[in-house]
Structure 1
């Protein structure tokens, strides 16, 4: 567990391909998908918050703080990361944030540790996950020290995660996709069913 790191679940999407609503609250193997994400992320970090627009009462069962988009307004995952960085800065005990999407129920148990190790080894301030040869920019490690730079970028219209991270230096960490891709996204009802099959198979 990293006592210097806050975890954030990015749950602000519109879930259009899932028919709308809160995708992380969709049932998966008898529980909300969010419960699977939290179960895997929480042991790795000091605390977890959820970033979602709208009324926080939609997530009563999780017992966690729910923050809305940052000062730049609803601008996708980067705004969610900024909100988490602001939250971490208020806590004063976390210098880092690890972000994961709310529709990735299979995230690996060594996510935070490997992102930190890769960032330190590369001598850069940021890190993100890769699998199957593809980068996953929303699955990343972010320093609280860059929050004002990110805020300025968002206010200037920046929306692409990888373009902003490239300005500062971002290490990429590859995870194997066997027996399953740990960053599998359940974006559709069919993918939700696939995620359930993976969980039943012991993914």
Structure 2
């Protein structure tokens, strides 16, 4: 498989942060999104940002900005579809997605996802971490997605599917297990308290 393209999902409405773009919040002197880009860019062949609204607010990051093609903020699957369509235009086989509010995700995210996909005719893998109660906790905004599934996903969204795992389970998605020693590397910034915690972790 060719090296996947990367798509940072930033299409949410950030209600718990009072609205606006979480990726533009300051973390240790840089926008939160800058920390995500720094981890993502070395792992993928090219990188884009899924976001809605005026794309000029992200001009400083010099990335293609991909709006959802499905109206009404239907959730991360719409961002995945936007990324798949962008990747298809570039002749890519797959994308890896990551969330714009998760500054500590693993620096080996892509290699581990690719390893977990070995032998799959249609690669589809979600990241997961150990969970004391449930065994594993899936992180549905972090995944490897085959571009060949984009029309199926388009139809699923049109049919009202919104939950990532509901769609991925249909296609036999696998999980790539990542260690979570000390804290979950997929910890994301949802609230002002989370942002304070991220500041403590990064310093």
TM bracket (short chain): over 0.9
**Which runs of structure 2 are paired with 1:6-155 in the superposition (5 Å)?**
6-71=5-70, 74-92=73-91, 94-121=92-119, 125-133=123-131, 134-155=137-158
RMSD: 1.5
* Aligned mates of 2:15, 2:152 — CA distance in 1: 31
* Aligned mates of 2:74, 2:7 — CA distance in 1: 16
Going from structure 1 to structure 2, the CA distance change for 1:73 and 1:146 (only over 3 Å counts) comes to farther
* Aligned mates of 2:70, 2:194 — CA distance in 1: 33
* Aligned mates of 2:186, 2:59 — CA distance in 1: 26
1:4 CA drift (Å):
2.8
Q: How many corresponding residue pairs?
A: 198
Q: TM-score, normalised by structure 2?
A: 0.93
8 A Cα contact 2:50 2:67, kept in partner:
yes
2:193 match: 190
Going from structure 1 to structure 2, the CA distance change for 1:73 and 1:120 (only over 3 Å counts) comes to farther
1:180 CA drift (Å):
2.6
1:131 CA drift (Å):
1.4
1:160 aligned residue (126, 150, 163): 163
8 A Cα contact 2:12 2:73, kept in partner:
no
Gaps of 5+ in 2: 132-136
Answer with 126-135 or 143-152: which moved more.
Answer: 126-135
* Aligned mates of 1:81, 1:55 — CA distance in 2: 19
8 A Cα contact 2:98 2:141, kept in partner:
yes
Q: Which portions of structure 1, spanning 4 or more consecutive aligned residues, are displaced by more than 6 angstroms?
A: none
* Aligned mates of 2:40, 2:16 — CA distance in 1: 25
